[in-house]
Amino acid sequence: MNADCIFCKIINGEAACYRIYEDKYTLAFLDVSNDVEGHTLVVPKKHFENILDCGEETLSQVMKTVQAVSTHFTENCGYDGINILNANKEAAQQSVFHLHFHIIPRKKKDKIDAWITANMQENEKNSLEKLCEKLKL
């Protein structure tokens, strides 16, 4: 529990939300933006900033709920697909620093483009070979 965290307040009932699903470890609730129909956030009940500090067990509990809610949305709620989005750290446009995954329900003809747009010119790009050398784990 982090006293300054809005998602911790939602989890412990100090702040309101529209709950979609809850279990011992996780909570899924509608994103306040209401920008895409059914836009839902899945969070662990324990406070972690993001996937870089949360540990495997928490991540797997959260992903289990992401999968359960996504399955429910596609099988029972009339959506044709799902995007899962997640931001880690400010540079990646994380704005609430409590681990969360966005579930974005999709319909065949909704015209949403959830894919990242390229930000580099062709001549600025490293070859995949060089990138692989730099990045492989």
The reply to whether 52 sits near ligand DGP by the rule CB under 6 A is: no
> Which residue's CB is nearer to ligand DGP, number 67 or number 88?
88
Report, in Å, the least distance between residue 91 CB and ligand DGP. 12
- Residue nearest to ligand DGP as judged by C-beta position: 32
For the chain, the maximum distance between any two Cα atoms, rounded to a whole number of angstroms, is 52
Nearest to 106 by CA among 67, 69, 73, 62: 73
> Any catalytic annotation for residue 100?
yes
Coil vs helix vs strand at 37: coil
Report, in Å, the least distance between residue 83 CB and ligand DGP. 13
Q: How many CB atoms lie within 10 A of CB 47?
A: 18
Residue 48: both structure tokens together: 């972690």
User: Which of 93, 119, 121, 127 forms a contact with ligand DGP (CB under 6 A)?
Assistant: 93
